[in-house]
Structure 1
Amino acid sequence: MLNDPKNDPKSWEAYFKDILRRFYGPSNMKDIPDSYGGDFGIECYSFSGHVFQCYLPEQISDKEKLTKLQKDKIRKDIQKFTVKNVKKFAQLFEGMQISRWILATPEYYDSDMAMYCSEKSGKVRKLGLSYVSPDFQILLQTESDYRTEVRALQRDSYQLLLNFSHVEEDMAADWISQNLSFLKKIDLKLPKIVDPDKIDQMKSFLVQKYLGYQNLLDHLRVEWPDIHVTINALINNRRSYLEARFLTDCSKQPGAVIQAEIQQLKDDISSEIPTLKKTDLELIKYGVIADWLIRCPLDF
């Protein structure tokens, strides 16, 4: 399993090619390995006439620098596509016409690139190359153009990147002050599992994780409903075991019981959803602990 596909150019290329294989189908895609004539200017193409060049800029935070880098990349690779490698492309695309040349990149600013791509596309069409379609266009695409394929890949093969609001310590403190009655159960339980001098610190920590955990669940409910259902089922199953152990097994300390059940929950989730980030899994772990301490009516 790969981690963040935006870590390096080769990871980005492999990731986007996986997206395209899902979109077009493996039998409708042709890879162009680096060994094919050296720097060929494209990395793959579809038999429907779309060629792709994958590009991961060194930085994407500065709008002007990003746009300049992308324009330079398009200029250089279109030069290869229309001048430097004409004979090779004429042979490679014999009987085909390419209607789209696509730069696959993580992010771009459409308003700055649209005119540039349109102008470049017109110049390419005027060259009258045998493998260029009369409706040829240069485009930029990101993973957001293939949402279905990306969701499937993240679910099955790549690290699941969840975009939800995290909770800072001061936000947790404000929430505690506004929800004192809601936190009565945790106030009763914490002294039995935490040293007295650490109760306030642990309470703040758990509430912070609890709120972040709720945000994560809300995000999953909307964007990844199948994963939300799976995680909820695993949590509810483990919570029932936890409550049953406190009713039937008095031989172990509460902290040890909670730790054992939460470790089992982590193992269960990792087995069912191996692409979940470790940080998100840790948030779920502490969120479940906090949720149980806050809501469960059982005392120990």
Structure 2
Amino acid sequence: MGGDFGIWDGGEWEGHVLHLLQAEHGAHNVQKVPAKHLGDSGLDFICLYKRLVYQCYAVQEPIDVASRADKQKTKITTDIGKFCDPSGGAAAILKNEKIKRWILAVPLHDSKAVVEHAATKAAEVRAKKLPYVDDDFQIIIQDQETFDADTWNYRMLLRKRIRPVVPEPTDNDVAAISDGDQTLAVNLRTKMVKRVPDPSELEDVVDDLLRVFLHSENTKDALRFMAPDAYEDVVRLISERLRRLRLGSRRLVGDPLDAEIDSLKTAILSAVPNLDPGTADTIALGAVSDWLMRCPLRLD
């Protein structure tokens, strides 16, 4: 993991750390302390069963090592002051606990000067004999190297979310594809008539399916330019699924559309986990619409 720690703003880093802590300690063992109302009292997250508190901090990068260290030391001094305030929020929240570690979570920790400063401040805290502080209280600094590598890499992958922005098809776009190949709309009516027997409602459904198909195709085109590898994975999955449908049973049972859409969306997100779920949903919807138009599948 070394090297690529990234550039973070404070809110994004705090959210990232929350997910890392939930993965490490369990979601039910991590308490967030919101700062919006009355401040955060020198702590962002509490893990009571291990008697740990976390404070998140991301400096504005790029910055040199010495300047980063100075900012991190200042952060420790400021927030430990809040933590030790007997009239502050930390004292009220932690009054029945004995906190063993106050942890500064940062994207990059690369100076022993910060460790030395943390040790000095920890000794000052222990000397105060605060009722919510353990006799073995320490201040430590954690960065990406401290967290589980698989969890970190997964969260970083999600951070690079692929989300192409594609406008909805217009009425003219839908009319063009319907008029250009009238068999597509005919196939949709034939497949959907038992599901939607009302003629006027059926036409609305056919229009929606054509619209979804166009939106899906446009989304895949955008994905091809934005993330070619992801595009190839998605197209391969759709082709494989269609091949199985053609070679296997031509009859879909149960609630076929919902099941097929959900199954395809799950497969797409499994292959491309950083693809935006809404994008995966659009592509899956469009693929199933395409199959209904072009393949000899029955819905009964």
TM-score (norm: length of structure 1):
0.51
Equivalent residue number for residue 291 of structure 2: none
Letter in 1 for 2:59: P
Equivalent residue number for residue 41 of structure 1: 42
Contact 1:16 1:143 in 2 (8 A): no
Alpha-carbon separation, structure 2, partners of 1:40 and 1:53:
10
- Equivalent position SS for 1:118: helix
Contact 2:8 2:60 in 1 (8 A): no
Query: In 2 relative to 1, CA 69–60 (structure 1 residues): closer, same or farther, beyond 3 Å?
Result: farther
Say which is worse superposed, 119-128 or 145-154, in terms of deviation: 145-154
Equivalent residue number for residue 56 of structure 1: 58
Which residues in structure 2 correspond to 1:102-181 (within 5 Å)?
A: 102-146=103-147, 147-155=149-157, 157-159=158-160
Which residues in structure 2 correspond to 1:93-104 (within 5 Å)?
A: 93-104=94-105
Contact 1:5 1:12 in 2 (8 A): no
Equivalent residue number for residue 76 of structure 1: 78
C-alpha deviation, 1:53, in angstroms: 0.9
C-alpha deviation, 1:39, in angstroms: 4.4
Alpha-carbon separation, structure 2, partners of 1:26 and 1:269:
26
Contact 1:5 1:11 in 2 (8 A): no
Give a deviation string over 1:199-231, Cα, whole Å, max 9, x none.
xxxxxxxxxxxxxxxxxx9xxxxxxxxxxxxx9
Equivalent residue number for residue 271 of structure 2: 272
Which residues in structure 2 correspond to 1:212-251 (within 5 Å)?
A: none
Alpha-carbon separation, structure 2, partners of 1:274 and 1:39:
33
Gaps of 5+ in 1: 161-216, 218-230, 242-267, 278-300
Contact 2:32 2:46 in 1 (8 A): yes
Alpha-carbon separation, structure 1, partners of 2:8 and 2:129:
39
Alpha-carbon separation, structure 2, partners of 1:20 and 1:131:
22
C-alpha deviation, 1:143, in angstroms: 2.1
C-alpha deviation, 1:87, in angstroms: 4.7
Give a deviation string over 1:238-295, Cα, whole Å, max 9, x none.
9xx9xxxxxxxxxxxxxxxxxxxxxxxxxx9887214279xxxxxxxxxxxxxxxxxx
Gaps of 5+ in 2: 162-228, 241-266, 277-300
Give identity over the alignment, percent.
27
Count residues with an aligned counterpart. 176
Aligned CA-pair RMSD: 3.4
Alpha-carbon separation, structure 1, partners of 2:8 and 2:111:
24
Query: In 2 relative to 1, CA 111–7 (structure 1 residues): closer, same or farther, beyond 3 Å?
Result: closer
Query: In 2 relative to 1, CA 121–137 (structure 1 residues): closer, same or farther, beyond 3 Å?
Result: same
